């Protein structure tokens, strides 16, 4: 019985040792393994077996893309303006062995390299160019830092200038300049609006004058046409009146003739017709000679009766 207990105990101890030698590497990570103090292997994600007392995990490396946010650094521009600039570096580890043995503290080394590179780039630029050339600065920093970190097993994917803080006096001057620019743009826009308003108003007056002239012309034409129509109507009325008078006279003479009246009576009726015609607008009436003789006879009779 004691022998069986010892066997079970030994089996349990062996199982515990075996379990303790198992290592599980999670996804997105890698383990750098040393055997007797020397680099042995790089374990990828999965289950691995470690030799007791010989192997050890020298470094656990995260293979995902990481972000390093560095503190603001004082930087002097070419025109001797000191600014505080903080940067952000995006990187990933492509070789865990180089990352473990390439440099003592990779993140600190990359921070110092970023600060040095930033000072070198900004030192060749003036203040205005620094504030307006972020993309160019980012590109130059990315190329320089990425090339320098390759021996450390680090791949720099992106570099961004997070914030640029000029001195307070420079910021105040920039704010005044921006305010002046805004006021200038506002004045220009106001002047442009007034100019456009005056142009539109002048065009409106021009169109109104043209329309008034057209209306006056049309009114004159219509008035002339109305006057012409009036005169035509009056002339037609007068002509119709004369025709009616002549027709009535002709009808009267025909009736007298049909009644058997002598020639003197016919001539007398003609005289009466001319007298009526003379009461119109005619200014001169031509009387035949035979009727004139009758008129003279009537005047003689009238004088003898007196």
What average pLDDT does the segment 31-36 reach? 92
The neighbouring-strand residues paired with 86 are 163
For 91, counting Cβ atoms within 10 Å of its Cβ (0-12 exposed, 13-18 middle, 19+ buried), the class is: buried
141 and 126 in a single domain? The answer is yes
Phi, psi angles (nearest 5°) of residue 242: -65, -40
The answer to whether residues 150 and 173 touch, using CB atoms and an 8 Å cutoff, is no
131 and 50 in a single domain? The answer is no
Residue 117 has what pLDDT? Answer: 92
pLDDT of residue 286 exceeding 60 = no
What is the domain-level CATH number for residue 77?
Answer: 3.30.479.30
Of the candidates 100, 121, 113, the one whose C-alpha atom is nearest the C-alpha of residue 68 is 113
Q: How many CB atoms lie within 10 A of CB 23?
A: 15
Residue 232 has what pLDDT? Answer: 87
Of the candidates 154, 168, 167, the one whose C-alpha atom is nearest the C-alpha of residue 63 is 154
Residues of the chain above pLDDT 70, percent: 81
Residue 149 has what pLDDT? Answer: 93
pLDDT of residue 306 exceeding 60 = no
45 and 130 in a single domain? The answer is no
72 and 141 in a single domain? The answer is yes
Asked, for residue 217, whether it belongs to a domain, the answer is: no
Q: How far is Cα of residue 145 from the mean position of the Cα atoms in its chain?
A: 42
pLDDT of residue 208 exceeding 70 = yes
Q: How many CB atoms lie within 10 A of CB 274?
A: 16
**Mean of the per-residue pLDDT values of the chain:** 81
Asked, for residue 233, whether it belongs to a domain, the answer is: no
Question: How many Å apart are CA 189 and CA 250, to the nearest integer?
Answer: 90
What average pLDDT does the segment 144-158 reach? 93
Asked, for residue 219, whether it belongs to a domain, the answer is: no
What average pLDDT does the segment 44-65 reach? 90
Asked, for residue 45, whether it belongs to a domain, the answer is: yes
Which of 139, 166, 193 is at the close of a domain? Answer: 166
Question: How many Å apart are CA 297 and CA 301, to the nearest integer?
Answer: 6
Interval 225-270: pLDDT, tens: 888 888 888 888 887 878 777 777 777 667 766 665 555 555 555 5
Residue 269 has what pLDDT? Answer: 58
54 and 37 in a single domain? The answer is yes
79 and 151 in a single domain? The answer is yes
40 and 88 in a single domain? The answer is no
pTM of the model: 0.55
Question: How many Å apart are CA 281 and CA 259, to the nearest integer?
Answer: 32
**Banded model confidence at residue 21, pLDDT cuts 50, 70, 90:** confident
130 and 162 in a single domain? The answer is yes
92 and 140 in a single domain? The answer is yes
The answer to whether residues 156 and 90 touch, using CB atoms and an 8 Å cutoff, is yes
The answer to whether residues 164 and 87 touch, using CB atoms and an 8 Å cutoff, is no
Q: How many CB atoms lie within 10 A of CB 247?
A: 10
70 and 160 in a single domain? The answer is yes
Question: How many Å apart are CA 119 and CA 238, to the nearest integer?
Answer: 113
Question: How many Å apart are CA 81 and CA 27, to the nearest integer?
Answer: 48
**Banded model confidence at residue 77, pLDDT cuts 50, 70, 90:** confident
What average pLDDT does the segment 266-290 reach? 54
pLDDT of residue 216 exceeding 60 = yes
How many domains does the chain fold into? Answer: 3
Of the candidates 88, 84, 43, the one whose C-alpha atom is nearest the C-alpha of residue 65 is 88
Full residue range of the structural domain in which residue 133 is found: 66-166
Asked, for residue 130, whether it belongs to a domain, the answer is: yes
Rg (CA), the chain: 63
Q: Is 295 helix (H, G, I), strand (E, B) or coil?
A: helix
157 and 73 in a single domain? The answer is yes
Cβ-Cβ contacts under 8 Å for 94 (sequence gap 6 or more): 153, 154, 155
Q: What 3 state SS string does 195-242 have?
A: HHHHHHHHHHHHHHHHHHHHHHHHHHHHHHHHHHHHHHHHHHHHHHHH
pLDDT of residue 301 exceeding 50 = no
Which of 5, 40, 62 is at the close of a domain? Answer: 62
The answer to whether residues 39 and 59 touch, using CB atoms and an 8 Å cutoff, is no
Helices (H) and strands (E) in the chain, counts: 8, 9
């Amino acid at each position: 019985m004691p022998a069986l207990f010892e066997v079970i105990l030994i089996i349990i101890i062996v199982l515990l040792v075996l379990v303790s030698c198992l290592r599980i590497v999670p996804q997105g990570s890698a383990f750098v393994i040393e055997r007797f103090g020397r680099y042995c292997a790089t374990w990828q994600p999965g289950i691995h077996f470690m030799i007791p007392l010989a192997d050890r995990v020298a470094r656990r490396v995260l293979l995902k893309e990481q972000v390093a946010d560095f503190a603001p650094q004082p930087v002097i521009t070419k025109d001797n303006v000191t600014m505080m600039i903080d940067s952000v570096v995006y990187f990933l580890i492509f070789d865990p062995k180089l990352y473990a043995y390439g440099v003592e503290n990779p993140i600190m080394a990359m921070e110092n390299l970023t600060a040095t590179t930033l000072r070198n780039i900004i030192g060749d630029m003036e203040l205005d160019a620094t504030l307006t050339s972020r993309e160019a600065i980012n590109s130059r920093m990315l190329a320089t830092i990425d090339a320098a970190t390759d021996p450390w097993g680090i791949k720099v994917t992106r570099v961004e200038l997070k914030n640029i803080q000029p001195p307070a006096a420079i910021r105040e001057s920039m704010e005044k300049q921006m305010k002046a620019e805004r006021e200038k743009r506002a004045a220009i826009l106001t002047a442009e609006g007034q100019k456009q308003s005056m142009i539109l108003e002048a065009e409106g007056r021009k169109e109104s004058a043209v329309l008034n002239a057209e209306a006056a012309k049309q009114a004159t034409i219509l008035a002339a046409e109305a006057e012409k129509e009036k005169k035509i109507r009056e002339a037609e009325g007068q002509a119709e009146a004369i025709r009616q008078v002549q027709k009535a006279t002709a009808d009267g003479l025909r009736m007298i003739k049909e009644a058997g009246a002598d020639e003197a009576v016919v001539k007398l009726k003609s005289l009466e017709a001319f007298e009526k015609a003379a009461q119109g607008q005619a200014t001169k009436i031509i009387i035949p000679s035979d009727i004139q003789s009758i008129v003279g006879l009537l005047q003689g009779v009238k004088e003898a009766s007196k």
